[in-house]
Structure 1
Amino acid sequence: MNWDIVEGNWKQFKGKVKAQWGKLTDDHLDVIAGRRDELVGKVQETYGVTKDEAEAQIKRFEELNKDTTPKSPS
C-alpha cells in the first residue's frame, strides 16, 4: 500500500480505517489525514497497545486492502 496515494485519497480510505478501528473519531481521522505514522500513534493511544502491535495491525490492514488502493495517474 503506497501511503502517498492513501494520503492523497484520504477521504476514500477514512471509511475503511474507521471500519477497522471503530474507536477512532472523525476528529482523529482528520488529524491522521492519511499519514501512516499518525495512524500508528492514534491506534496505539486509543487502543492502549504497543507501537509494535499498532504497526502489526496496520500491516494486516494494508495486506487486506492492498487491492483497493486507488491507482496513481500515469
Structure 2
Amino acid sequence: MNKDTLEGQWKQLSGKAKAAWGELTDDDLTKVNGNAERLAGLIQEKYGRTREEADREVKDFFDNNR
C-alpha cells in the first residue's frame, strides 16, 4: 500500500488503529494522518517497543486492513 493510499484511507483506518493501540489518542491519530513512520514512532514512544517491533506492528496493521 503506498503512502497516498494510506493517507487517503486513514479516516477509516484510524478507528481500527485506536482499537489496536488503545493508548493512542484521537489527537495522536490525527497527527499521524496515515503516515506509517509517524505511527511507528508513536507506538515506540507510548508502548516502549523497539523501532523494529513498532515498524513490524504497523506493517502488519496496514497489511491486514487493506
Please tell me the TM-score bracket, short chain as reference.
0.7 to 0.9
Aligned amino acid, residue 65 of structure 1: N
Q: Percent identity?
A: 48
**Structure 1, unpaired ranges of 5+:** 67-74
Where do residues 1-16 of structure 1 align in structure 2 (5 Å cutoff)? 1-16=1-16
Corresponding residue for 2:32? Answer: 32
Q: Give the TM-score normalised by structure 1.
A: 0.79
The aligned length equals 66
Structure 2 residue aligned with 1:17: 17
Equivalent residue runs for 1:35-50 within 5 Å? 35-50=35-50
TM value normalised by structure 2: 0.87
Structure number, greater radius of gyration: 1
Aligned-partner residue type, residue 63 of structure 2: E
Higher relative contact order (CA 8 A, sep 6+): 1
Give the superposition deviation at 1:60.
1.8
Give 1 or 2: higher helix fraction. Answer: 2
Q: Which stretches of structure 1, 4 residues or more, deviate above 3 A after TM superposition?
A: none
